[in-house]
Structure 1
Amino acid sequence: MNKFTETLTTDNAILAMIDHQTGLLVSCRDQDPHLMTENIKGLCSMAKTVGMPTITTASMPDGPNGPIMPEITDILGDEVIERAGEINAWKSPEFKKAVEATGRKKIIMAGIVTDVCLMFPAISAVAEGYDVYAVVDASGTWNKAVAEASIHRMTQAGVKVATWASVLAEVMDDWRSEKGMELGGVLGQHTSYRWVYDSFLQANQAHK
């Protein structure tokens, strides 16, 4: 099967959260910061719900970039690969080794900022045969023009540009799947889909 048509599953993908650090978040102006935070939390919750392997990394967290945002560590845990200087996470031996240790070739990536922390490792991983999904609404950068330029460059390099809710739906695949309703709850918790989800739950309750 062509890698561009093969879909994400709980068994073939990992999640990499790259440099969502408090000092860098201040500069993100391409989308509403509260919405971006909900997108990030939703993406992390999706991975945790289905038991997907996750990797979190930070660039010089003791410096001005700051620590990983607590919303991520609260969901995925405190294990963070702290890079001493590599701007491109893919050039960090520890990060790359963690990816390779999963044995999986599909990487769902998000990063702050989009045009550096996400774009550089996404392109580098594709160059080495990985199938990368860049989740742009769980990433952020300086302004919309920068975000659009990053999307164009990643697309040119063969990175799949995605959104977190689309990734969740692709992984879920079927509402009747083992984690279907639980994933629906994640979607409802972090998007306006909550009204649909709540209505469904109430209708089900009424028929019992």
Structure 2
Amino acid sequence: MLEIENVVLLIVDIQGKLAHLMDKKEILFKNVQNLIKGSRALDIPILWVEQNPQGLGPTIPEIADMLSDIQPISKMSFSSCRNDSFLQALNALDRKQVLISGIEAHICVYQTAADLVDMGYEVQVVTDAVSSRNLENKEIGLQRMRESGVSLTSVETALFELLKVAEGDQFRQIIRIIK
């Protein structure tokens, strides 16, 4: 069960032209935005990685503008866990649950999620906030992640799991976000 005080949101590689090649990209972008808004409403820390930004370009403005107070972590490895800056940032947060969204599900998201599980983290991948260029590769990525010990969730499932109760200011904020 996700806990507000123990979780971090990780946004993976939603960059440049590649982001616009994703299957159902409009839904992906909206769901990632809602996940960021929800994490902000719940005061959940966010880490943000970019795969080879010189080659792929920066994170798309729809997402980057929401993260302007956070510095992206540049990486060349598919798995974020093979990047010292990412590991330092994650370790500094001292949290053991990682909620992941981003692209591509069968490459960077999968390898990052599997490595995090191997490192002892509880990992949930937000299935409606990840994508690949085609649905088949997304499904393969999700299957491989599940086989690696990753749990699958959705934006609404994760946010309500974190909330625990249907009352208070945070609940009202989350309801406004998902409507």
Q: Could you tell me how far apart the structure 2 residues matched to 1:21 and 1:91 are? A: 19
Q: Which residue of 2 aligns with 1:20?
A: 14
Q: Is the 8 A contact 1:16 1:56 kept in 2?
A: yes
Worse overlay, 165-174 or 101-110: 165-174
Alpha-carbon separation, structure 2, partners of 1:155 and 1:177: 34
Q: Which of 135, 140, 165 lines up with 2:131 in the alignment?
A: 140
Post-superposition shift, 1:137? 1.3
Which letter does structure 1 place at the counterpart of 2:31? N
Greater alpha carbon shift after TM alignment, 158-167 vs 18-27: 18-27
Amino acid of the structure 1 residue aligned with 2:45:
P
Give the C-alpha shift of residue 37 in structure 1. Answer: 1.2
2:174 is the alignment partner of 1:183: yes
Quote the residue 1:202 is aligned against.
none
Larger strand percent: 2
What is the aligned partner in structure 2 of residue 67 from structure 1? 58
Partner of residue 86, structure 1: 77
The answer to which of 159-168 and 18-27 deviates more is 18-27
SS in 2 for 1:11: helix
1:39 to 2:67 alignment: no
**Bigger radius of gyration, 1 or 2?**
1
Write the deviation string for residues 114-150 of structure 1: whole angstroms up to 9, x where unpaired: 1111100000000010000111211110212111111
What's the RMSD between the two structures over aligned residues?
A: 1.2
What SS is found at the alignment partner of 2:9? strand
5+ residue gaps, structure 2: none
CA contact (8 A) 1:21 1:66 kept: yes
- The residue type paired with residue 92 of structure 2 is A
Q: Give deviations 1:178-203, integer Å, cap 9, x for gaps.
A: 41101111111xxxxxxxxxxxxxxx
Percent identity over the alignment is 24
Q: What is the CA–CA distance in structure 2 between the aligned matches of 1:42 and 1:22, rounded to whole Å?
A: 20
Q: Which moved more, 1:18-27 or 1:100-109?
A: 18-27
- Following the alignment from structure 2 to structure 1, what is the Cα–Cα distance between the partners of residues 121 and 130? 20
- Maintained 8 Å contact 1:109/1:132: yes
Aligned residues of 1:15 and 1:55 also touching (Cα < 8 A)? yes
Q: Kindly indicate whether residue 42 of structure 2 is the aligned counterpart of residue 50 of structure 1.
A: yes
Q: Provide the TM-score with structure 2 as the length reference.
A: 0.94
Number of aligned positions between the proteins: 178
Q: Distance in 2 between matches of 1:23 and 1:66?
A: 8
AA in 2 matched with 1:72: I
Q: Work out whether residues 29 and 63 of structure 2, in 8 Å CA contact, stay in contact via their aligned partners in 1.
A: no
Question: What is the DSSP-based 3-state SS (H/G/I as helix, E as strand, rest coil) of the residue aligned with 2:120?
Answer: coil
Structure 1 unaligned blocks of 5 or more? 1-6, 189-208
Superposition TM-score, scaled by structure 1 size: 0.82
Q: Distance in 2 between the 1:180 and 1:162 partners?
A: 19
Query: Separation in 1 of the partners of 2:153 and 2:133?
Result: 19
Secondary structure at the residue paired with 1:14? strand
